[in-house]
Amino acid sequence: MTTICYRTAGPAALLSCVLALALTACATQPASRTEADLAIETSAGSRYEVHRVQVRRDAGALSVSGDIEHVPSMRMLAPGAVEVRVLGPDGVVLAEKTTKPMRRNLQSSDAHFYVRLPVDPPAGSSVQIAHQK
């Protein structure tokens, strides 16, 4: 989809053009991203979602981050904890860590989590992320 905005267009046309570009950019963002050759599995309670997950390999360790959001979106604390597990190709737990999600500020409707695991999993491994109340 190609959108072209002209300088001679009115404010309404310019606004619709900017919105079209923004929506196109948002639609192409992945729900989770990994720089490693790992499968990502997420689970949460019925009123929460895990999203914007990122997994990165860094100097023999694995960094996992993401957000927990209340559904429907509300400015509430995400109670409980986030458990992150790294499973090898054979299903054996290679590393495991639990952390509490934190809101970025009082206006935020989601909470962020981050863990660093001292493991360099082989290809075919998976990362499991579970929000527990």
SS3 state of residue 40: strand
Dig out the tokens for 112 from the structure.
């962020």
Burial group, residue 12, by CB count within 10 angstroms (0-12, 13-18, 19+):
exposed
C-alpha distance from residue 110 to each of 67, 83, 91, 93, 105 (Å) = 6, 17, 31, 28, 9
Query: pLDDT for 48-88, tens place per residue?
Result: 888 899 999 988 899 999 998 877 766 666 678 999 999 99
* Residue 117 pLDDT: 96
Query: pLDDT for 3-28, tens place per residue?
Result: 444 444 555 554 554 445 444 333 33
Q: Report the chain's terminal Cα–Cα distance, integer Å.
A: 42
Dig out the tokens for 69 from the structure.
């959001």
